[in-house]
């Protein structure tokens, strides 16, 4: 594992119980007042990756709410280096990938430098997305869902066609969000990170049980909740566009392709027809991120020397 310990970057961390507890509790979940965000969006800055599905949901929300001219954004390279983690483009180290930028605020080379600047003694993982407060020079949040929700509560009512959390649908959206996040968004990673053949197969069956149920739910409807695009659709979409080209071959989510689910496929394709969503999709960056990361590939070898064998539908 990569990360910071007491503000110092480590490229390979063996977690003992004490460190595991610290890493488990680390992160930034400061409450962002929607009124402050609404009144001064230019005070804040996003650090994101097109490759990461959790950062992608924030990019997608920013695009749907038409905040590009109000909420600035820096984008890291899709390659997650074991040595230095997420990195920015620089004149000396340009990126060949569309949309990748320099750190527009501080010209940092690596994302962990922002965590050090925000909290010099920080211990924990260094992840995207990050919502940065220019005024205090600190990280407000690195929780993708909290950032999405704050953006929508501040600006969704101004964009009637893109209010992702309308008041009359909130209980239903909350239930759908919980299911999609736990069973699908995180489910693909539980499959990919299984440490035994039995665990892998159990997690795989749970993932596909959730996908089958959601496919049936979408049989006669365009969106997951109600008759409009909501947070739930966005959460599902960032997994959907990665599933066949990255999760299936790399994480071994191999019982079926996403395209084998007729209603899930139609839902994904319908969202891709929305220009504000389509512009956020970067398949070449997904390929680099997942295939060029030995932490994914190496997990296939078990402690007994054997490898996890992918399960496919016969």
Task: Please give the positions annotated as active site.
Answer: 52, 189
Rounded Cα–Cα distance for residues 132 and 114 (Å)? 9
Q: Are 99 and 282 in contact (CB under 8 A)?
A: yes
The residue written with tokens 């994480």 in the block is 251
- Please report, to the nearest 10 degrees, the dihedral formed by the alpha carbons of residues 210, 248, 252, 3 taken in order: -90
CB-count exposure of residue 202 (10 Å: 0-12, 13-18, 19+): middle
Name the token pair of 213: 């149920």
Query: Please, which residues bridge with residue 75 across strands?
Result: 48
Q: Which of 247, 242, 241 is nearest to 193 (CA)?
A: 247
Q: Element (H or E) spanning 140, and its range?
A: strand 138-141
Rounded Cα–Cα distance for residues 238 and 193 (Å)? 19
Specify the DSSP class assigned to residue 124. B
Query: How many secondary structure helices (H) and strands (E) does the chain include?
Result: 13, 6
Rounded Cα–Cα distance for residues 28 and 24 (Å)? 12
Which strands sit side by side in the sheet containing 44-48, from one edge to the other? 72-75, 44-48, 130-133, 138-141
CA neighbours closer than 13 Å in the CB half-sphere of residue 304: 6
Contacts of 95 by beta carbon, 8 Å cutoff, 6+ apart: 77, 89
């Amino acid at each position: 594992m990569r990360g910071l310990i007491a503000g110092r970057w480590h490229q390979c961390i063996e977690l003992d119980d004490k460190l595991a507890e610290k890493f488990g509790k680390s992160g930034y979940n400061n409450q962002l007042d929607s009124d402050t965000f609404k009144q001064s969006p230019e005070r804040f800055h996003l650090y994101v990756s097109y490759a990461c599905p959790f950062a992608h949901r924030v990019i997608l929300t920013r695009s749907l709410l038409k905040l590009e001219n109000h909420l600035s954004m820096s984008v890291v390279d899709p390659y997650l280096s074991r040595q230095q983690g997420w990195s920015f483009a620089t004149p000396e180290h340009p990126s060949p990938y569309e949309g990748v930028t320099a750190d527009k605020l501080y010209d940092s080379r690596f994302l962990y430098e922002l965590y050090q600047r925000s909290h010099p003694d920080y211990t924990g993982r260094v992840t995207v997305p990050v919502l940065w407060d220019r005024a205090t020079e600190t990280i407000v949040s690195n929780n993708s869902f909290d950032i999405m929700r704050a953006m929508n509560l501040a600006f969704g009512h101004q964009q009637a066609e893109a209010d992702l959390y309308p008041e009359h649908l909130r209980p239903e959206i909350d239930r759908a969000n919980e299911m999609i996040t736990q069973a699908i968004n995180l489910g693909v990673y539980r499959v990919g990170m299984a440490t035994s053949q039995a665990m892998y197969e159990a997690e795989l069956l749970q993932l596909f049980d959730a996908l089958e149920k959601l496919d049936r739910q979408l049989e006669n409807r365009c969106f997951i909740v109600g008759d409009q695009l909501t947070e739930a659709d966005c959460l599902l979409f960032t997994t959907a566009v990665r599933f066949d080209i990255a999760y299936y071959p790399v994480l071994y989510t191999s019982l079926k392709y996403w395209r084998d689910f007729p209603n899930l496929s139609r839902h994904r394709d319908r969202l891709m027809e929305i220009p504000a969503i389509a512009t956020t999709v970067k398949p070449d960056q997904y390929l680099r991120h997942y295939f060029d990361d030995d932490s994914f590939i190496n997990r296939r070898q078990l402690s007994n020397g054997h490898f996890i064998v992918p399960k496919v539908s016969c």
